[in-house]
Amino acid sequence: MSRLNSLSQSAIRAMFASETPEALILLITITNPADPTTPVRLADGYTNRIDSLTTDNEVIYGVTSNGNNYIFLPMELSLPGEQETGAGQCSLILKFVTREAIELIRTHLTSPVDVQIDLVLASSPNTVETSFSGFKITNVTYNADQITFDLNMVSLSREPFPSFTFTPANFPGLF
């Protein structure tokens, strides 16, 4: 609950109002540790046209936040619940399936990549209301309608140390 306590009054009103002109927008940043210079930035809403990505054939909408352009794609996010065993699983569902998107997944998501989730208000996209970091994409499934990314927080504190028991079955060269 500490994350909700850090939200501004405007964000809380936008979340709980039955009707409001304000909108909360999810900003998703996906970064591959092998190539951290070219992150993929996505948003679940839009505030402006992104002129640097717009061509004569295609108009791209999104959000510009703190100098970064986030491309609008319809998506859903389910945040994890609190569990005694640690952080639960989070899912990001993109409602955008194209041949190019599937090809990007197959070629670039060969190892877990980092995901950061930021919440901003449409009226002030440069002010991050709250941020969730530390997620990694651990599984991707897709069909004709959607692409689902399973997001998990990898906790090394829950891993046993040492990870193997030094027994003759596991390490025959030691005995």
Per-residue model confidence as pLDDT tens for the chain (175 residues): 345 557 888 888 888 888 888 888 999 998 888 777 888 899 998 898 988 888 889 898 999 999 999 999 889 988 766 666 655 678 889 887 777 778 877 776 777 888 999 999 999 999 999 888 888 888 888 888 888 888 887 665 666 666 666 677 777 776 6
How crowded is the C-beta side of 127, counted as CA atoms within 13 Å? 11
Give the whole-angstrom CA distance, residue 63 versus residue 38: 17
Give the whole-angstrom CA distance, residue 70 versus residue 165: 47
DSSP3 helix / strand / coil % (the chain, rounded to 5): 15, 45, 40
At 38, which helix (H) or strand (E)?
strand 35-43
Give the whole-angstrom CA distance, residue 95 versus residue 142: 10
3-state secondary structure at position 24: strand
